[in-house]
Amino acid sequence: MENFLSEELKEILKREYSKGNIILNLGDITKVEVDAIVNAANETLLGGGGVDGAIHAAAGSELLEECKTLGGCRTGEAKITKGYNLPAKNVIHTVGPIYNTDKNVEKLLSDCYTNSLKLIVENNLNSIAFPGISTGVYGYPKEDAARIAIESVLSFLKNHKGDIKVIFVSFSERDFDIYKKIFEESMK
């Protein structure tokens, strides 16, 4: 069967995987059209490098203006703004734990996912895209972080009646493969 697929289709299939309400995607989160993309921000909410910098650059300066009114955000918590020039309608800013510095990193990372999903429910939204929170400069090991991300989201969705679509966006093939492996394991 594989031999009958065009090269282009094979590439697409490699980069997207879905089951139920969960989609694993390889790409740039600033391009994803959903009700809210999640920003792995820092406590100031005033922008930074990595995915934070990319989101602010794509959203435009109005995003920073709104962020200035929020008074920062504690690690594990989440705050919502509009998406401005992004294809996503909103941005949920959450602050992941710094792996080698913070205590209770597992709980704090899990809280980022749960508190982001709570904002989706509170604002009557239906779709959300997450990057690998804390897995860049904050140094959280990718496999452990992906496991916490997937378990936290699945457990939230299990206890929630509505229909929420969740996209995990990986920025590299390696990260995508990690998510896929852990997601498939969690389905067994």
45 binds ligand ADP (CB under 6 A): no
Contact 116, 130 (CB under 8 A): yes
Count Cβ atoms below 10 Å from residue 1 Cβ, excluding itself: 4
Contact 121, 162 (CB under 8 A): yes
List 38, 66, 76, 96, residue binding ligand ADP (CB under 6 A) = 96
169 binds ligand ADP (CB under 6 A): yes
Write the DSSP string, 62-110: HHHHHHHTTT---TT-EEEEE-TTSSSSEEEEEEPPPTTT-SSHHHHHH
23 binds ligand ADP (CB under 6 A): no
User: 55 or 154, CB closer to ligand ADP?
Assistant: 55
135 binds ligand ADP (CB under 6 A): yes
List 23, 26, 29, 78, residue binding ligand ADP (CB under 6 A) = 29
User: 89 or 121, CB closer to ligand ADP?
Assistant: 89
**Residue with structure tokens 């600033």?**
30
User: 137 or 187, CB closer to ligand ADP?
Assistant: 137
Residue 135 C-alpha from the chain's centroid: 11
24 binds ligand ADP (CB under 6 A): no
Q: Which residues bind ligand ADP (CB under 6 A)?
A: 28-30, 40, 50-52, 54, 96, 131-138, 169, 171, 175
